[in-house]
């Protein structure tokens, strides 16, 4: 194994694995360093399923990124043969107002506008009434986070990338000759470095005046009390419901994980990612039970699994992908602000573009760090 590389990527989770893959695909000598195993369940890239959808982002700044991400996910499936990376299920958004930017467009909305009566007829599993409206995106899909990460890493290593798991970065420095990274396994050098540190980004940016926080949230699987087939992929899409407590979200039941998955997307409990209680508790379950009682009483059955994960946040909850100010050899890719997995192939491509070319052709200026330095 080499000690010298073109690029070192610190953090090989969701976006780090995509970045390593993109760099290796371009023929660069890449080292990925992950403090835990690859993959792991200690950050925000685990839990067997994530959502993706196009319709909510049409007409927004995220539109070119989600469209590119879809292209790259399809390419990843084609190249790897790993068809369960992306399982098409459709996506249903339920809100008390028509909240997509695309509602303002006359054409290219890419979703069906549904009254709540139409929602109840089509998806009787949802117990919801006025004043809610539905928006159904037929291109919505369920993503498999662990499979996606391992596939990115496997294909990158097949192209010659090195990836070290269970390796802790002790220090790093940049000088005129490149960057040097000291780990508990050895010292490595490179021309450039990309930090994909997720919830640990805040510690990296300490002293820069940029607040990045981590928060603890939970999600669960339950076994429906009746009509189990109504919660399988043939009948149930991925979904979100806007609620006073946040946004409830869920997935159809999958064959490799028993139960119906539901979670609450909210700010969570602010924590130190290196020192907090990961063990789920009664309050974590109650967050989930409240949504089940309200929207899915027929699914409010026995608890099968309850897990915690970490979100990361900027002050405006918009991710950062940019050169680190004052450090020409350093690219920052994250935090992703609790909603990034659907975008990661495109985020990884943008980060690789910055390493290779210093710029990117994907329209993404709103992700630059300057907005947080004003």
Residues 67-117 have pLDDT tens digits of: 999 999 999 999 999 999 999 999 999 999 987 888 888 777 889 999 999
Residues near 232 by beta carbon (within 8 Å), at least 6 away in sequence: 252, 253
Mean pLDDT over each residue of the chain, to the nearest integer: 95
Q: Residue 237: name the closest of 123, 133, 111, 129 by CA.
A: 123
pLDDT recorded at residue 312: 95
Q: Is residue 261 a contact partner of residue 251, using CB atoms and an 8 Å limit? A: yes
Confidence band of 187 (pLDDT split at 50, 70, 90): very high
Q: According to the model, what pLDDT value does residue 222 have?
A: 98
Contacts of 309 (CB under 8 A, 6+ apart): 41, 43, 44, 46, 47, 216, 217, 218, 219
Q: Is the pLDDT confidence value at 26 over 90?
A: yes
Comparing CA positions, the residue from 120, 303, 125, 127 lying closest to residue 226 is 125
pLDDT confidence of 124, banded at 50, 70, 90?
very high
Please enumerate in sequence order all residues whose Cβ is within 8 A of that of 21, keeping only pairs 6 or more positions apart, or say none: 152, 153, 155, 156, 161, 348
**Residue ranges of domains in the chain:** 4-46+146-207+317-372, 91-138+213-313
What average pLDDT does range 181-207 have in this prediction? 93
Give yes or no for residue 2 having a pLDDT over 90: no
CATH homologous superfamily of domain 4-46+146-207+317-372?
A: FAD/NAD(P)-binding domain (3.50.50.60)
The 10 Å CB-count burial string (b at 16+, else e) for 244-262 is eebbbbbbbbbeeeebbbb
The tokens describing 146, both together, are 């662990």
Q: Which two tokens stand for residue 345?
A: 């192939």
Statement: the pTM of the whole predicted model exceeds 0.95: yes
pLDDT at 102: 86
Q: Flag whether pLDDT at 207 surpasses 80.
A: no
Q: How many C-beta atoms lie closer than 10 Å to residue 171's C-beta? A: 9
Tell me the per-residue pLDDT of 274-331, one tens digit each, with 9 for 90 and over.
Answer: 999 999 999 999 999 999 999 999 999 999 999 999 999 999 999 999 999 889 999 9
Mean pLDDT of 202-207: 82
CATH superfamily of 91-138+213-313: D-Amino Acid Oxidase, subunit A, domain 2 (3.30.9.10)
């Amino acid at each position: 194994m080499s000690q010298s590389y073109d690029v070192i990527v610190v953090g090989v989770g969701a976006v780090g694995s995509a970045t390593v893959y993109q760099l290796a695909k371009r023929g660069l000598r890449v080292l990925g360093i992950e403090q835990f195993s690859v993959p792991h369940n200690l950050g925000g890239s685990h839990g067997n399923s994530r959502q993706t959808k196009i319709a909510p982002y049409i007409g927004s700044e995220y539109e070119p990124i989600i469209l590119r991400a879809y292209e790259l996910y399809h390419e990843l499936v084609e190249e790897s043969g790993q068809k369960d990376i992306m399982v098409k299920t459709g996506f249903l958004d339920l809100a008390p107002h028509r909240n997509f930017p695309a509602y303002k467009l006359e054409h290219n909305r890419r979703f069906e506008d549904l009254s709540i009566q139409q929602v109840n007829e089509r998806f009787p599993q949802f117990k919801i009434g006025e004043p809610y409206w539905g928006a159904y995106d037929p291109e919505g899909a369920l993503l498999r986070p662990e499979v996606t990460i391992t596939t990115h890493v496997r294909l990158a290593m097949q192209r010659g990338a090195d990836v070290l798991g269970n390796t802790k970065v002790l220090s790093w420095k940049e000088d005129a000759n490149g960057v040097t990274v000291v780990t508990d396994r050895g010292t490595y050098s490179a021309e450039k470095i990309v930090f994909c540190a997720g919830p640990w980004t805040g510690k990296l940016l300490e002293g820069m005046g940029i607040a990045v926080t981590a928060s603890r949230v939970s999600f669960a699987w339950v076994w429906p009390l009746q009509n189990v087939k109504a919660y399988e992929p043939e009948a149930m899409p991925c979904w979100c419901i806007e609620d006073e407590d946040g946004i409830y979200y869920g997935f159809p039941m999958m064959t490799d994980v028993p139960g119906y998955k539901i979670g609450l997307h909210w700010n969570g409990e602010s924590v130190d990612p290196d020192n907090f209680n990961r063990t789920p508790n009664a309050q974590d379950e109650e967050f989930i039970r409240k949504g089940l009682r309200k929207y899915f009483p027929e699914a409010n059955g026995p608890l099968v699994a309850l897990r915690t994960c970490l979100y990361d946040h900027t002050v405006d909850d918009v991710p950062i992908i940019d050169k680190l100010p004052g450090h020409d050899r350093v690219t920052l890719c994250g935090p992703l602000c609790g909603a990034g997995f659907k975008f990661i192939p495109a985020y990884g491509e943008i980060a690789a573009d910055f390493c290779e070319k210093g710029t990117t052709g994907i329209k993404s200026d709103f992700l630059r760090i300057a907005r947080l330095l004003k």
